[in-house]
């Protein structure tokens, strides 16, 4: 059986996302789900940084604009929150680029705007 990177940690984060979805349902904007996730991370004593800033290196410079990951959880997982009718390839590319720039091992994309919570794991 293949071992997944940060399997138990990702499972815990997805469980918290399910709790938020169970309580709020679908249809809210991303910011509402992020606020609820922040609350859940705090009460569950899970270390996180919201809107963590990452610099983008290009050739021999750092670009003047940064990117901001929705959350970095446990110093190792990018959590990107969406509330869209359907995830697209451009959403997936966003997380892959975030992983490349951040050098973190795992990305999770969560879509709250469906009847049941949808998520996808990303590794480079």
Tell me the pLDDT tens digit for each residue of 105-118. 999 999 999 999 99
| pLDDT at position 50 | 97
pLDDT per residue as tens digits for the range 90-104:
999 999 999 999 999
How far apart CA 85 and CA 114 sit, in angstroms, is 7
Q: What DSSP string describes 20-58?
A: HHHHH-S-S-HHHHHHHHHHHHHHTT--EEEEEEE--EE
Mean pLDDT of the chain: 94
| pLDDT at position 122 | 96
| pLDDT at position 3 | 80
Length of the chain: 124
Q: Quote the DSSP letter at residue 113.
A: S
Tell me the whole-structure pTM to 2 decimals: 0.92
CA-nearest of 79, 52, 50, 53 to 64 is 53
| pLDDT at position 1 | 61
Contact criterion met (CB below 8 Å) for 95 and 105: no
Arithmetic mean of pLDDT, 2-27: 95
pLDDT per residue as tens digits for the range 51-100:
999 999 899 999 998 889 999 999 999 999 999 999 999 999 999 999 99
How far apart CA 51 and CA 34 sit, in angstroms, is 10
* Whether CATH 1.10.260.30 fits 29-122: no
| pLDDT at position 124 | 86
Q: Quote the DSSP letter at residue 81.
A: E
| pLDDT at position 67 | 87
Give residue limits of the domains in the chain: 29-122
């Amino acid at each position: 059986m293949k071992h997944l990177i940060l399997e138990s940690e990702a499972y815990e984060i997805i469980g918290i996302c399910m709790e938020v979805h169970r309580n709020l349902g679908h249809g809210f904007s991303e910011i509402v789900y992020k606020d609820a996730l922040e609350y859940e991370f705090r009460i569950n004593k899970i270390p996180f940084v919201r809107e963590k800033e990452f610099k983008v290196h290009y050739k021999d410079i750092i670009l003047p604009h940064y990117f901001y990951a929705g959350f970095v959880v446990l110093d190792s997982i990018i959590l990107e929150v969406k509330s869209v009718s359907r995830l697209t390839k451009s959403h997936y590319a966003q997380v892959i680029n975030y992983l490349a720039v951040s050098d973190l091992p795992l990305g999770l994309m969560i879509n709250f705007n469906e009847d049941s919570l949808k998520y996808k794991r990303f590794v480079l």
